Structure 1
Amino acid sequence: MKVAPDQPFQIVYSLFEHEYLGFLFESFVVQINDKGNLTYSHQNISAQNAEEFDEGLDAADYELIKTMDQMQQKAVFNHFQKKKMKLDEFFLKVYDKKAGDKILQDEIDRYLEIRRSKVLSLIHGKQLFEMGKDGEPTWKKITISDEKATVLFHFRRNEENTHYFPTIKLKEEKVHFFQNESYLLCKEPAWMVVNDTLFTFEQEVNGNKLKPFFNKKFILIPKNVEETYYRKFVAPLIASFDVYAQGFEIKSEKLLPTPVLSFSELASASQSTGTLFDTPKANTSADVSKILFELSFRYGTYSYKADKLKKVSVSVEKQEDDYIFHRVRRDSTQEKSFIDTLTNSGLPLKSSRSTLSKTNAMSWLNDNLATLREQGFIIDQRDASVKKYFVGSTDFNLEITENIDWFDIKAVIHFGEFEIPFTTIRQYVLNKQSEFKLPNGEYAIIPDNWVTEYSDLFAFSSNGADNITLNKIHVSLVKDLKDGNHAKVAMTRKLEKLLDFDEIEDTPVPAKFKGTLRPYQQAGYNWLSFLNQYGFGGCLADDMGLGKTVQTLALLQGEKEKDTGSTSLLVMPTSLIYNWEMEAGKFAPGLKILNYTGTNRNKNHERFARYDLVITSYGITRIDTDLLKQFYFNYIILDESQAIKNPDSIISKSVRELKSRRKLILSGTPIENSTLDLWSQMSFVNPGLLGTEKFFKTEYQIPIEKRKDEAKMRRLNALIKPFILRREKTQVAKDLPEKVENVHYCDLSAQQREYYDREKNAYRNKILDLIAQDGLQKSQMILLQGLTRLRQIANHPSMVDETYEGDSGKFEDITHMVSNALGKDHKILIFSQFVKHLKIVEQYLQAENIPYAYLDGSVKDRKAEVEKFQNNENIRIFLISLKAGGLGLNLTEADYVFLLDPWWNPAIEAQAVDRAHRIGQTNKVFTYKFIARDTVEEKILKLQQSKLKLAQNLITIEESFVKSLSKEDITNLFD
C-alpha cells in the first residue's frame, strides 16, 4: 500500500531474521493518522526513492537506508556471486548443510556484521520494530536503551575445575537473558535484545563471549586444560573487563615503562663478510641482509610488545598449583611518546616491528644511539653471541689540499676506538661491501651517509706514492664536499672561479682575429682560455646559431699566436667541412689550414706540422686512425661530438686513440639518447672525470634513467658543470629577432581517415597480441614499424601505398600555406624526416612551376643548393630532409620554417628551426609545425611531455622513446 509523501508519515526500521543471512533490517515509511498514530499503510523505501520523503528524513536516515539496502539478499547476491546463476540457486549452494561453501559463508557474515554494527551505531533516537511473520513492519516495538550495560565475568576455581559465567546489568538492574527469547543481534561489538529492549555495553565486548550463555548457565573448564585456558582466554579478559575470582589471585600493579629496542639479523640466502686484512670482493649481501627491530615495554619484570597500546596487560604466574594474575596498568601516553620518538627519528613501526636493510639499520642506530639512550631506551642485540655488531660513534674527518696538478686527500676514520685506513673503507665501498670485522671481533657497518656523501671521492681518488690524490678535474666534487661541511678544503680562489662562470677573467682577443665577439662569445672564449690554462678539456654546448664556430676559431687563433709550431685537429661531419673553411677564412684568415679529406689525400702525417689546423671528417678519422695517432696534436676538437655518443662505436674508439695536449668538443645536443652519451663525450675530453663506463652505468645512468633519482642527477650535473658551457638564445642573443612558434592542426580527409583507422586497428591487434605472447621487449620492432607507418599515413597515404589515389588533409593545408606565404614574398624552409614526403611536395612545386632548392642525403653539392637559396631572389623554397639539413647550414634568408611532421627528438626539431633563427637573421622567424589531429602524431607529443622530464636536456631518439612506453601507453596510442 502506497504512502502519500504529502500526508503525515513516519520512517521506521524493521528487524527480521533471514533463513541464511541472520538478522537484517529494512526501512519503511508508515502513514500517520489524525491522532498521530501509525497506520497499516506502509511502503518499503530504498536509496532510490528516499528523496520522495525527504521532508521526514535526516542525514542519519539516509545513511541507514543506504546501509540497509546493502544488507538485502539481492545486494548480497550481487556482491558475492562469482558465476552466473540465479539468486535462489546461489544461496542453496553456498549454505548447503553438507557441501556448503564455509569460506564464503564467513565472508558474507563479516560483510553483514560490519553493516549491522554501522546500523546500530546510527539507530539511537529512531523507531525500531520486529517484523511480523506476515511482513508487517511494525509488529512489535523494540525500545532502544539510552544507557549502556556493564558486564562482570565470574570465575570460581575448585580442585576439579573452574566455572565461568557473566552477569549483565542495565540501569543497575540485573539482566536475565538465559533461555527467555533474548538474542544477540550483533557480535562485534555486542548488541543484545532482552525483553524487547536493545542495548550495548559501556566497554565493548565481543558477542562470542556472551553467546554460549543464552542457553547455558555456566561454562566448565576442566583441570587438564586449565593453564592454557587461563593464559589464552582468562588473562585477556581480566585485562579488559571487570572480573570476580574465587580460587586464584588478581594483583593490580602500577609501574613505569622502560622502552627496549631489540635488533636481530634476518637470515639471508648468502652472506659474505670481510675483515680488515682481507681484500674485499664485490658483494651486495649487506644490502640484501635485513635487520629486524622490535620494540617492547618493560614494566618491572614484565615485558609487553608495543604492537597494541593497551590500558592494562595481564601476566600469568603459576606457583605450584596456584595462579596469580598480575594486572599491570600501562602508561599508554608514555608508550606512545616512545613510539613517536622512533618514528620521528626515521624508524616507523608496524605491529611493534620495523625492518631495514643492514646498512640503513646500522646507520640509523649509530646516528640516533646517544639520543635514544638519553631518553631511556635499552638497546639489545638478540643474537650477539653468534655475531655481534658494532654499535657506537663513527667519525669521518677529511682534509683536501690543492697541489700543483692534483688534490691531496687526508682522511681519519674512526669506528669507536679503532682508526681505519681510508683505503680500506674505499675498497669496501667500491666493491659494494659495507660490512667488515673490527680487531675486537665485532662487525662494523659502513654508514649509508658515507656511501652517499663520499661515494664519488671513493671512486675517483687514487693511491699515490705517499698519499691519496684526486685529479683536479674533480674540482666540483671538492667544492661540494666543502659546501656540505664534509671536508676541510684548501683551494686557490682562481680554481674556484671555474665553478662560477661569471667570475672568469677576460682574456684579450687574439690580435689577428678578424671580427668582433659578442659579449657572450667573449665570455665563452674566456672560459675556453681558462680550461686551456689548467689543462682541462671542455664541451661548448651553446644553442645552435650562437657561434660555437667563431668562439673556437678565436681559441685556435690565440694558440697560433702563442706558439706558431702547434697543430690542432678538427673532426666533423663531412657536411660541415665547407662551412668551417668559409668561417675560418672570414674570422681567422691567418690560420694555415689543411683540408685532410677526399680519396686522393696525401697520407703523410709529418706534413701536419706545417699547418695550424688540420680539418677532417669522422669517416676519414675512422679509416686513418693508425696514421693520425702517430701525430701529437695541440688540440683535438670534435664538432657535433654526439657522433661519439656510443662508446662502443668504431669512431669513438678511433678518436680515443689520437694524442693531443688538450681536447674540446662542440655540440648543441650532447645528450640525445641517454646519459651514456654524456659519459662517452666527457670521458674523451677529460678521461676519468666520470669514472669507468661500468661505474657510470651503475652509479648514474641506471639510477637517473630507471629510478628517476634526482640526487644522482644533481651530483652528475655538479661533476660536469665546470666543463660544459651551454647558453640558450633566450639568455644571451638579445639582439636576435623574435621567433614565433605555431602548431597547425590538420584534419584528415574522409578517405585518408578511413585508410588510417583501418591500418591503426590492424596494427593495434597485432601489437597487443604480440605483447601478450612475447612481452614488451620483443615487441618493440613491430611497434616501431606500426607507429612509423601510421605517421606516414597521417602525412599522405601515398607514402605507404603507391596505388592510393585519394587526397590528404595535411597536404592540402601545406600547399595552401605555401601558396599564401609565397604571395607575401616570404622565403620558406620546409623540413621533413621522410624523403618521400619531400618528394610529394616537390611534385606539387614542379606542377605549379615554382622554383626551389632541394637537399637530402643523396645531394652531393650541398654548397650549390645553399647558395642558390641564399643568393637567388627567385628561389623562395628550400626542401630539406632532417638528416641532411639538421646541421651546419646558415639559412638566414628564410623567415618561415615549416615542420611537416613531428620528430621524436625535440632538440633536432629545434636545430632545424635554428637554420634560420641564428646570428645574422634580421627578420622575425615564423615556425609552423603541422600535426594531424586525432592521430599518433598528436598522442606522441603528449606522451613526450609526460615521459621526458627526467632532465631538462635529456632528450630521446625514436628507439629509446619506444622502449620507454608501457603497455598502457601503447594501448592509448592506438585507441
Structure 2
Amino acid sequence: MARTGQRRDGARRTAGRHGQRARTTDLVGELARAVRDVEAAAKRGRVTPSVRATFQAVALLLREERARVRAAAMSDSQRGDQLKRLEGIATILATTAVRDSGLLALLGEDAVVSDAARRTAREIKAALGVEPEPEEEPEPVATAPVEAPRRVVPQSVVSRQLANPFLAPDYDAAATQRGPRAGRLAGWELMGPLLASFERASGGAPACMPLPFPTQRFTPAGLELMPHQGQLVASVAEGHRSFLLADEPGLGKTAQALLAAEAAMAYPLLVVVPNVVKTNWAREAAVWTPHRPATVVQGDGDNVDGFADIVIVNYEVLDRHRGWLGDFGFRGMVVDEAHFIKNTSSQRSQHVLGLSDGLRLRTAKPLLMALTGTPLINDVDDFRAIWRFLGWVDDSKPLAELTECLEGTGLVPADREFYDSARRCVIDMGIVRRRKVDVAADIPARRIADLPVELDGAAGRSIRAAERELAARMVAQYRQAMAYRDVTDDELDMDLVRRVAKSELKDAMTKQNGENVFSMMRRIGEAKAELAADYAAQLARSAGKVVFFAKHIAVMDIAEASFEKAGVRFSSIRGDQTPSARQKQVDAFVNDPEVSVAVCSLTAAGVGLNLQVASNVVLAELSWTDAEQTQAIDRSHRIGQTEPVTAWRIIAAQTIDSRIAELIGSKAGLAARALDGSDEEVVATGDVQLEALVSLLVDALAA
C-alpha cells in the first residue's frame, strides 16, 4: 500500500504543476512522463509489477484519448497535432515492449487488464481533474500486495487432476541433481573456463555431439524427415534426453522436437514459445504427431484442454500459469527461441528455469530441449541460462554428469589442453548444431544485396544536421578531456575516443532529451520507409511475393500507407496482434495470390514464421545484430524454399546508417566461432552501437 500512496502523492504533485490547464495537454504530458519512467526501468532491466501496471495504464489511457481526439470537434490541424503527440507515446510504448516480452503481452488485444493497472489509470485521471468513469462493481479490498502475481488454474486442468489422483512424481530422479563427488577439480572455478572454451575454439572444431544413423520411423504416413532431422530423433530413441538444438534457422527444429517427444514418450509435453509462433506450433503438432492432442494456453486458459498430450504456452503468460504447470506431471519440456531466456534475472527466465528444476526433480530422465538458431546474441555468457535449463549446470558450477566428464579428462583449467576437452564435454551433453550448407544442400543459396539511397529534402538535411550535432557533442567532450592533460602530442587517443563513445552510448540509453544514435536510426528508418516500400512494390510486381521488415511501428505505418496508395495488397504482422489475428495475416500472405507483400515487425515476426513463398526480403531498417538480421532472412530461406533468396538492405547513404551496415557485416562471427568452428572474431552486440559512435567521432576529429 505504500507504493500506492507514493503513486497518489506523485499524481498530486503532477496535478499541482499543471494547475488547471486543458485536459488534453495535462493528460498527454502525464502519459509521456509515465511512459518515459517505464522505458527507463526497462532499459535497466527492472520491470517490476508496479512498472507493468503503469505501462498497461498508459496503454489504456492512450487508447481512450486517441478515440476522444478523433471524435472531438476541432480543426484538422489541431486533431493532427494531438494524434501526432499520442503517436509518439505509442511508439515509446512499442519500443519499450520489445525489451521485455511481459510488457509486449500487455499490448495484445487479449491481454487481461490487471486491477493494479486500472487503479493506476484512475489515479492519473483523478490527479489531473478528470472524473473517472464509474465502475460496474466496487473495487474489492486488497488483501495482498499489488505486486503479488495473479495465478489461475483452468477448470479442465482441475478435472484432469481429479480424474488422475494417483499420478505421483518420481522423486528418485532428484538423485541425479546431487553434487558431484570431490575429485581433481575440487576447488576449481569451472564456469568461466567452460564458457571460455567456446571462445577459444579453433578453426575446424564445429559443435555437434555424435549422432546415430536413424533406424526407426516416427513420422506419420506420408511424411519423411530429412537425414539430419532423423539423426536427432534416433539419438533420443537411444536414450539421450537433453539437447541444445542450435541448427541454423530453417532446418526444421520444430518437427525434430515434436518427434523427439514421440521417441521418448515424453508426454505430457510442455512447449514454451514466443507468442508469435504459438499457433504455428499447434499446427505443426497436428501435422507431425496427429494422434497427440495439443492445446494452446490463451489468456487465463479458459479453453485449455486439461487432457491434452502437448501443452503450448507463450513466455508472456507463464507468470499466471506457473502454479498448475509445475504440478501437471510433464515428462518433457521444449523451449523455443531459447535465447529469450539469456537474461537469468528476467521474470520469464526465472519461470522457465523454475519449471525445468521442478521437472528434473519430479521426473526420471525427462526430455529437455532448448531450440534456437541463434544461441549467442551478446557473448558466450548467453549459454549460461540455456545450460541451466537443461540441467548441465547450476548458478555457479557444472552439475554431476558434466563434472564427471570433466574429471575424466584428467586435466584442470591450468592445463592448456583443458579447454578443448572441456568444450567437447559440453558438446557431448547434447549440443546439436548443423548448417544448411552441410546438411541441406538442396536449399537454394541466399545473398544480401545493399541498396544505397539518398535522403533528399528537408528530412535528409535534418538527419545529416543531427548527425553533425551528435559528432560535435562528442568532439567537445574529447577536446575538453584532452585540455586537462599536460601533453602536446596531437596523436589521436583511441582509448579516450572509446570512453567518450561509451559515455555517449550510456547517455543515449538513459536520457530522453536531445538527439542520440537511437533516435537518429528511427528517423532514418522513417525517411527510408517510402523508398523501401516503392522498391518492395516493384519487386512484387516483377518477381512475386516480398517480405518487408522494419523495426519501428512508424516505419511500418508509412510503408503500409505507401502500399495502399500504390494499390499493392499486403499483410501486416505485428507484435500487438493476438495469435489468431497474426496467423490470419500470415495465412493471407501465404495462400492468397493477390496479397503480394508481408509487412513484418523485425522483432515480432523475425522468429518462428514460415514465409518461404517469398524469395525476396526487403530490410527497410537495419538490426543491431547479424543474428537478428539472419533470423529475419531465414523466414524465407528455409526447408521447402525452391528459389535463391535475396535480402535487399536499404541503406541511407552518407549517414550513420551506412556505417552500421558495414559493422554488422564485419562483426557476424560470434556463433560462427563458438559453434561452427570458424576463425572469425567473437564480438558482442553492443559493439555495433559503440563502434558506430567511435567511427563517427574519429571522422569528426580528422575533419
TM category, shorter: 0.5 to 0.7
Take 1:823 and 1:921, find their aligned partners in 2: how far apart are those partners?
Answer: 20
Per the alignment, residue 779 of structure 1 pairs with: 504
Report the secondary structure of 2:214's partner residue. coil
Q: Could you tell me whether the CA contact under 8 Å between 1:832 and 1:899 is conserved in 2? A: yes
- Mark the runs of 5 or more structure 2 residues left unpaired by the alignment: 1-174, 360-365, 403-415, 482-498, 510-514, 675-681
Match 2:450 to one of 723, 740, 743:
743
1:638 to 323, 335, 342: 335
* Residue pairs, 1:89-488, within 5 angstroms: 429-430=188-189
Partner of 1:504: 212
Q: Distance in 2 between matches of 1:964 and 1:715?
A: 34
Alignment-derived partner of residue 655 in structure 1:
352
The one-letter code of the counterpart of 1:554 is L
- In the alignment, the residues of structure 2 paired with residue 777 and residue 691 of structure 1 have an alpha-carbon distance, to the nearest angstrom, of 30
Q: In structure 2, give the amino acid aligned to 1:538.
A: F
2:371 equivalent to 1:666: yes
Contact 2:547 2:618 in 1 (8 A): yes
1:597 to 298, 312, 315: 298
- Three-state SS of the structure 2 residue aligned to 1:552 is helix
Cα distance between partner residues in 2 of 1:656 and 1:505:
32
Q: Aligned match of 2:274 in 573, 583, 588? A: 573
AA aligned opposite 2:446: K
The residue correspondences of 1:770-849 to structure 2 (distance < 5 A) are 777-783=502-508, 786-797=516-527, 810=528, 813-849=531-567
Say which structure, 1 or 2, has more relative contact order (CA 8 Å, 6+ apart): 2
Report the Cα distance in structure 1 between the residues aligned to 2:193 and 2:530, rounded to whole angstroms. Answer: 59
Offset, 1:685: 0.4
**Higher percent of residues as helix:** 2
What do the CA deviations read for 1:665-688 (whole angstroms, capped 9, x no partner)? 111111112222211111210232
- Select which of 301, 314, 323 maps to 1:626: 323
- Aligned counterpart, 1:178: none
Say which SS state the counterpart of residue 332 (structure 2) adopts: strand
Match of 2:689 among 921, 940, 962: 962
Question: 1:894, 1:644 → 2: CA distance?
Answer: 30
Distance in structure 1 (CA, Å) of the matches to 2:342 and 2:614: 31
The alpha-carbon deviation at position 831 of structure 1 amounts to 0.7
1:967 Cα shift? 4.9
The number of aligned residues is: 466
Contact map agreement 2:547 2:598 (CA 8 A) in 1: yes
Q: CA deviation at 1:850?
A: 2.1
Aligned residue for 1:898, secondary structure, equals strand
SS in 2 for 1:622: helix
Structure 1 residues 500 and 679, CA gap change in structure 2 (3 angstroms):
closer
* Residue-by-residue CA offset, 1:633-654 (whole Å, 9 max, x unaligned): 2111111111211111112111
Deviations 1:612-669 (Å, cap 9, x if unpaired)?
A: 2211111222222222222332111111111211111112111222232231111111
**C-alpha deviation, 1:691, in angstroms:** 4.5
Q: Distance in 2 between matches of 1:504 and 1:537?
A: 15
CA distance in 2, matches of 1:620, 1:762: 43
Q: Distance in 1 between matches of 2:621 and 2:455?
A: 14
SS in 2 for 1:909: helix
Answering whether residue 400 of structure 2 is matched by residue 682 of structure 1, we say no
Task: Check the 8 A contact 2:536/2:548 in 1, yes or no.
Answer: no
Could you say which residue in structure 2 is the equivalent of 1:586? 287
Name the CA distance, whole Å, in 1 between partners of 2:342 and 2:187. Answer: 32
Gapped runs of 5+ residues in structure 1?
A: 1-403, 411-421, 431-454, 461-473, 481-497, 697-709, 798-809
Deviation for aligned residue 1:916:
1.5
Q: Does 1:547 align with 2:265?
A: no
Call closer, same or farther: CA 1:629–1:744 in 2, change over 3 Å: same
| Structure 1 counterpart of 2:520, one-letter code | L
Counterpart contact for 1:513–1:588, Cα < 8 Å: no
Partner of 1:718: 424
Counterparts of 1:839 and 1:673, CA distance in 2: 30
Structure 2 CA distance for partners of 1:958 and 1:540, relative to 1, 3 Å: closer
- Choose from 605, 627, 635 the match for 1:915: 635
- Cα distance in 2 for partners of 1:408, 1:856 equals 45
Mark the CA change 1:519 to 1:764 in structure 2 (over 3 Å): closer, same or farther. same
- In 2, Cα distance between the equivalents of 1:851 and 1:500? 44
What's the CA shift for 1:753?
Answer: 4.2
**2:33 match:** none
Conserved in 2, the CA contact under 8 Å of 1:521 and 1:551?
Answer: yes
Offset at 1:948? 5.3
Counterpart residue number, 1:889:
609
SS where residue 823 of structure 1 aligns?
A: helix
**Larger proportion of strand:** 1
Indicate if the aligned counterparts of 2:627 and 2:668 stay in contact, CA closer than 8 A. Answer: no
Distance in 2, Cα, partners of 1:517 & 1:793: 46
Structure 2 contact 258–288 (Cα < 8 Å) conserved: yes
1:952 is the counterpart of 2:653? no
Structure-1 separation of matches of 2:554 and 2:700: 24
Partner residue of 1:853? 571
Name the SS for the 1:943 alignment partner. Answer: helix
User: In structure 2, what is the Cα distance between the partners aligned to 1:950 and 1:910?
Assistant: 13
The aligned residue for residue 274 of structure 1 is none
Shift of 1:726: 1.4
- From 215, 224, 238, the equivalent of 1:516 is 224
Equivalent of 2:463 in 745, 756, 779: 756
Give the distance between the partners of 2:316 and 2:649, measured in 1 at CA: 33
**Aligned mates of 1:750, 1:712 — CA distance in 2:** 60
Structure 1's 775 and 739: CA in aligned 2 closer, same or farther, altered over 3 A? Answer: closer
Separation in 1, partners of 2:421, 2:325: 36
* Residue matched to 2:54: none
Distance 1:428 1:918 in 2: 46
TM-aligned CA deviation for residue 858 of structure 1: 2.8
Alignment root-mean-square deviation, CA? 4.0
Aligned to 2:560, what secondary structure does the other structure show? helix
TM-fit CA distance, 1:712: 8.9
Query: Residues 900-911 of structure 1 correspond to what in structure 2 (within 5 A)?
Result: 900-911=620-631
- Structure 1 CA distance for aligned equivalents of residues 615 and 655 of structure 2: 29
Is the 1:538–1:686 contact (alpha carbons within 8 Å) kept by the matching residues of 2?
no
- Partner AA of 2:522 in structure 1: Q
Counterpart Cα distance in 1 of 2:684 and 2:625: 5
Distance 2:652 2:434 in 1: 33
Aligned residue in 1 for 2:618: 898
Measured after TM superposition, the shift of residue 789 of structure 1 is: 2.9
Q: SS at the partner of 2:672?
A: coil
Q: 1: CA distance between counterparts of 2:338 and 2:212?
A: 25
What's the counterpart of residue 729 of structure 1? 436
1:767–1:782 Cα contact (<8 Å) kept: no
**Amino acid corresponding to residue 589 of structure 1 in structure 2:** P
Letter in 2 for 1:732: V
Whole-Å separation in 2 of the counterparts to 1:651 and 1:811: 33
Letter of the structure 2 residue corresponding to residue 792 of structure 1: R
CA deviation profile, 1:732-765 (whole Å, cap 9, x unmatched): 1122233243111223326444323211111122
Q: 835-844 or 942-951, which moves further after superposition?
A: 942-951
Give 1:459 deviation, angstroms: 9.2
* Structure whose CA Rg is larger: 1
* 1:780 aligned partner, one-letter code: L
Evaluate the alpha carbon distance shift between residue 812 and residue 846 of structure 1 in structure 2; reply closer, same or farther with a 3 A threshold: closer
**Alpha-carbon distance change, 546 to 597 in structure 1, aligned in 2, over 3 angstroms:** same
Contact 1:770-1:779 at 8 Å conserved across structures: no
Q: In the alignment, which residue of structure 2 is the partner of 1:69? A: none
Letter matched to residue 814 of structure 1: A
Kindly, what percent of the aligned residue pairs are identical? 22
Closer, same or farther in 2 for the Cα pair 1:961/1:715, shift >3 Å? Answer: farther
